[in-house]
Amino acid sequence: MADWQEITGGITAPRGYRAAGITAGLKPSGLPDLALIFSDVEAIAAGVFTTSQVKAACVDYCRQHLQAKHHTQAILCNAGQANAATGSQGWFDALESAMTVAQALNISSESVLLASTGVIGQRIRMEQLKAGIPKLVAALSETGSDAAAAAIITTDLVTKSIALETTIGDRPVRIGGIAKGSGMIHPNMATMLAFVTCDAAVSPALWQQMLSRAADRSFNSITVDGDTSTNDSLIALANGQSRTPAIIEMGPEAEKLEAMLTAVCQHLARAIARDGEGATCLIEVQVTGANDELSARQIAKTIAGSSLVKSAIFGRDPNWGRIAAAAGRAGVPFEQENLQIKLGDFLLLENGQPLPFDRAAASEYLKAAAKGAYLKEDTVLISVSVGNGHGIGKAWGCDLSYDYVKINAEYTT
């Protein structure tokens, strides 16, 4: 049983944080498009970012910031323009964005991190952003998480938010998070955009290690369409306002905190996969019996990302051959005679041999998982065993529908 409980409040649930989200005129739609997360005191900062060679200015900015300084106090995020592949002017826009919000908050620009999302190749609409900053700062609130979550989304159908609480040293410790993402989802080091706040006191090196491991077990284990973004950013703050003893090395308290951090990241990652563009259901792939966790995750992510598997799920076709084929090309050695595949409760393949099963009932299982069928029970579970090893891994994805092509065919038009 989890050693924490879910609470309300999102990124402002931990002590000492405020957030805001407004409409600044960055999006042509007129929807909210500028968000701010602020810690009342400087916080330890950690980040995981895209490994794409084509990176947004905000990614380069944050990397440089975190290499020089492990503390920050604010995160500014704009939606509408990705500010990626925008050359030197995009870099200057990022610097100006940081300086503008820093002046409004009366803090150093070195205490500001940045994130952007939107159309690649478009610079931020700086006139609108700068005009919106005073309104954004004025809107900061201890209940502003929902507004911030709404201001960072683009093609998302829903906002993504979570907050958990545990006890460390007889005092409550909280972690909250928000995220955005629906398309261009195949993270390599991070996710589209995710922001995490925590009120524990953690050493910078340990907090970064925790976040990197949590990312591998969450955002690096989801896929929607196989495309890694230019703007992928996962940023986590820890401001120590819970007044618990500082955690400086791995031990029971650090393990407890990391487990809760991972749970927050996995919740947000699943929410992104569930909200995949055009998707009707979430796919969860569980792999056991591999030699190690990394190998198990690699097989799971290959299955979850297979266009043939995703298409079969959308068509409610229990075609286990596509699952077997994806597992076989994952680049992880295993003996074919050890392969077992289950779809929900339906055992389809065992010891490398196909089994008779009720195809109509299995198809009904897939139909029942269609989005909205049973509230949140919209998950298709694929269980695969490849041997007797101790490696266990999970990955999440979604089905591939006609609407995915329609959404992306008309993205900039």
* Catalytic status, residue 23: no
For 298-324, give the DSSP string.
HHHHHHHH-HHHHHHHHTT---HHHHH
Q: Which two tokens stand for residue 95?
A: 């610097």
CA distance 342 to 12: 40
Q: Which two tokens stand for residue 327?
A: 């597992």
Greatest C-alpha distance within the chain: 69
CA distance 296 to 355: 24
- 340-343, strands of its sheet edge to edge: 353-354, 346-350, 340-343, 379-385, 282-289, 389-398
- DSSP symbol at 280: -
**CA-to-CA separations, 38 to 104, 182, 185, 239, in angstroms, rounded:** 12, 25, 27, 11
Residue 171, strand partner residues: 168
Percentages helix, strand, coil for the chain (3-state, rounded to 5) are 35, 30, 35
Contacts of 384 (CB under 8 A, 6+ apart): 285, 286, 287, 288, 299, 300, 303, 323, 327, 339, 340, 341, 342
Active-site option among 154, 191, 230, 244: 191
Instruction: Return contacts of 305-312, CB within 8 angstroms, 24+ apart.
Output: 305/186, 305/223, 305/226, 305/395, 305/397, 307/226, 307/400, 309/283, 309/382, 310/283, 310/397, 310/398, 310/399, 310/400, 311/399, 311/400
- Give the residue numbers marked as catalytic: 191
